[in-house]
Amino acid sequence: MSQIKFYNREPVPVEMHKVKIVQKLSLLPAKERLEKMKNAGFNTFMLHNGDIFMDMLTDSGVNAMSDNMQAAMLHADDAYAGSETFYRMNDKLTEIFGIKHLLPTHQGRACEHIIAQHFVKPGSCVIMNYHFTTSKAHVTRLGGRVEELVKDEGLVVKSDLPFKGNIDLDKVKACIAKEGADNIAYMRLEAGTNLIGGQPISYENMKAATELAKEYGIVTVLDASLLQDNLYFNKTREEGLKDKSIREIARMIADLFDIVYFSARKFGFGRGGGIMVRDEEMFHAMEDYITMFEGFLTYGGMSVKEMEALIVGFEETMDLDIISQGPQFINHCVKELDKLGVPMVTPGGGLGAHIDARQVVDHIPAEQYPAGSLVAALYLCGGIRGMERGTLSEERNPDGTEHIASVEMVRLAFPRRVFTLSQTEYVIDRVKWLYDHRHLIGGLRFVHEPKTLRFFTGRLEPVSDWPEKLIAEYIKDFGEDQ
């Protein structure tokens, strides 16, 4: 079912599950949050989870399991080699994707490590619709290069296009002509995209792109980490697919690729990862990397309990009721904030709601990290933890100058089946308050700046006493205790 209809009021998304286990949350008083933020060096990655009210940092490894997933853990078969759990997991994935061979890994980036290790040589090129941080890092680490060939319209913030993750076929043709097919290690399509706002890619586009690759003998790879959201959008936004079941669409997509890999921290509501390989020879050639880097071939670094839960989680991913929750909550949040005048990435995609920080705090210079400042302010004003996706997440240019990001966003991730609609309404309210007081937000500067992946562990300080002034204003409206 796509959306429950209402008789007498504007419809809102309705959860197709009920809560059976809960975790207590606390909302620290505003002034205490200011202390915690100072201790965390104004970096939301450095906050302790207990000091956070709404943790919207990521959807990775924090999705809610179902009763059936937890029950399945009890019959996990603990064995170093030959665990029955592994064969059950392999069978389930083969049933869904129609691909025979599974290489288990501990998480998504481990799949990327192994695929890159196997195919990338110094100087080789990998075609992508859009990169993800870790998928690019593994290619460049080996001396390869990533060509991001998303359609230009994918980077337009405000839009009503249904599939902003689509790859530009003309750019693909030009790239193949320029590089030569032999120099292209593989074509990796991400369904849906992560860094451009959870925007999906259409089945038609994947079909055309992979057909083109096959013409030139280029290996095709699907990053299915965010496939559950993408499947929802294929079903609800793609004309030719509305009568197909989620299971049928998943199979049609997988049929286009030689390799399908995923982070099970997102796909399957658990923790782990896997690479499905169609060709037997290719599969055997990649096995050694698993035993060397991950674990034995029948667990690959995963706990067998998680693997049992995932088997159920993969099956739940084929259920439209279940996979609707994330995109519908995100859509609600994006639509409401858009109505309130807050600059959002539209249309709502998967993964989370994305605020266009460049527009919100246009008085903060790019070198003072607009999105980093906004995300810090959002914790101060509501105990909400989002993630900076902008210049702070980039590395400096070789000459030490800032590399200004093409998009400057704050991401509010919606871990699946975790938050309620009233909590979502709270977030909408606080974002709107902050938007109306945006002139009070100031910039940040580094006091400790790591050379690589600085956004994870870097420490910053405000360029003025703006956090104190912002908190004082907040307390005027909401009181000391909130």
Please give the residue ranges that form the binding site for ligand PLP (CB under 6 A).
60, 107-109, 132, 134-135, 190, 194, 223, 225-226, 263, 265-266, 273
For ligand PLP, give the closer residue by CB, 387 or 470: 387
Distances (CA, A) of 371 to 244, 366, 398, 471: 40, 9, 23, 18
Judge whether 408 and 371 are in contact, CB under 8 Å.
yes
For ligand PLP, give the closer residue by CB, 148 or 223: 223
Task: Round to whole Å and give the CA distance between 155 and 211.
Answer: 25
Rounded least distance, CB 412 to ligand PLP, Å = 16
389 is catalytic: yes
133 is catalytic: yes
Rounded least distance, CB 292 to ligand PLP, Å = 18
Which residues pair with residue 445 across a beta bridge? 461
- Annotated catalytic residue, options 88, 266, 438, 454: 266
Rounded least distance, CB 168 to ligand PLP, Å = 19
Task: Round to whole Å and give the CA distance between 90 and 422.
Answer: 39
Judge whether 307 and 106 are in contact, CB under 8 Å.
no
Q: Which residue is nearest to ligand PLP (CB)?
A: 108
For ligand PLP, give the closer residue by CB, 350 or 383: 350
Task: Round to whole Å and give the CA distance between 67 and 64.
Answer: 10
Rounded least distance, CB 420 to ligand PLP, Å = 24
Judge whether 34 and 467 are in contact, CB under 8 Å.
yes
For ligand PLP, give the closer residue by CB, 266 or 389: 266
Task: Round to whole Å and give the CA distance between 309 and 159.
Answer: 38
Nearest to 200 by CA among 221, 184, 223, 219: 223
**b/e 100-139 (16+ beta carbons within 10 angstroms → b):** ebbbbbbbbbbbbbbbbbbbbeeebbbbbbbbbebbbbbb
Q: State the amino acid at position 180 in one-letter form.
A: G
- 101-105 and 273-277 strand pairing: antiparallel
Helices in 224-344 by DSSP H: which ranges?
Answer: 227-237, 246-254, 280-289, 304-317, 320-339
- Give the torsion through C-alpha atoms of 392, 398, 404, 409, to 10 deg: -30
For ligand PLP, give the closer residue by CB, 33 or 265: 265
Nearest to 163 by CA among 207, 213, 198: 198
Rounded least distance, CB 421 to ligand PLP, Å = 25
Judge whether 293 and 250 are in contact, CB under 8 Å.
no
Nearest to 302 by CA among 61, 49, 51, 20: 61
For ligand PLP, give the closer residue by CB, 223 or 388: 223
The separation between CA 196 and the C-alpha centre of its own chain, rounded to angstroms, equals 10
Cα angle 290-292-297, degrees, rounded to a multiple of 5 = 35
Task: Round to whole Å and give the CA distance between 376 and 38.
Answer: 10
Q: State the amino acid at position 100 in one-letter form.
A: K
455 is catalytic: yes
- Annotated catalytic residue, options 257, 369, 455, 474: 455
Rounded least distance, CB 355 to ligand PLP, Å = 19
- Annotated catalytic residue, options 53, 86, 130, 132: 132
- Annotated catalytic residue, options 7, 18, 80, 170: 80
- Annotated catalytic residue, options 92, 188, 389, 411: 389
Rounded least distance, CB 266 to ligand PLP, Å = 6
Rounded least distance, CB 182 to ligand PLP, Å = 26
For ligand PLP, give the closer residue by CB, 263 or 317: 263
For ligand PLP, give the closer residue by CB, 134 or 199: 134
Task: Round to whole Å and give the CA distance between 478 and 29.
Answer: 10
For ligand PLP, give the closer residue by CB, 189 or 249: 189
Rounded least distance, CB 147 to ligand PLP, Å = 17
- Annotated catalytic residue, options 91, 133, 242, 445: 133
132 is catalytic: yes
Judge whether 103 and 275 are in contact, CB under 8 Å.
yes
Residue numbers annotated as active site: 80, 132-133, 223, 266, 389, 455
